[in-house]
Structure 1
Amino acid sequence: MAHYRASESKREQFRRYLEKAGVMDGLTNVLVALYEATEKPNDALDFIKQHLGPGADSTDAEGSRVELSELQHKYDLLLEENKELKNRLLQYEPAADHRGVE
């Protein structure tokens, strides 16, 4: 009988952990969305994966894509500017092998 109580206690601890971490709310929300869907998907597991997976928050993903694109463009512009500045600098500085040792 003591063994039964110990495992029940572990289950209760695990349940509290899931609740505190927001897992229960997340699962409940996905299952409610599946229940309320007018057209049930052919693959319920895929539906759950899509709504719980790392890409579940598509607004964050889209924002990150836009930011990445903007930063890539800025990076390309800075590389081009750096290249131009190096070329200009070479016009005003003597070449390294023509410098005299003083």
Structure 2
Amino acid sequence: MAHYRASDSKREPFRRYLEKSGVIDSLTSVLVALYEQPEKPNNALEFVKQNLGAAANLSADTATLQEEVMDLRQKCAMLEEENNDLKTRLQRHEPVSEAGPTAD
């Protein structure tokens, strides 16, 4: 296998590109998962391929879930505001007596 050595001026921008795009984090997490396996798989490359795909799907799932969490938080805040408004309106029309509700 021939080794090509890129010039130092090209290495740093490429490294930043890999960091920015999440490649280094994905590779690191897959390699850590391989390292932490109690029984090492016979085919380490296959393990990396399978888990690297899972890491990509995980980040897409994570983004979707984060978006859903934000939507649900906004909805919750709106519902709390509506609930408080309705409570206020109800108290104006039906003030609560200190003795509690009366039996008819």
User: What TM-score, normalized by structure 1, do the two folds share?
Assistant: 0.47
Q: Whose Rg is larger? A: 1
User: What TM-score, normalized by structure 2, do the two folds share?
Assistant: 0.46
> RCO higher in 1 or 2 (8 Å CA, sep ≥ 6)?
2
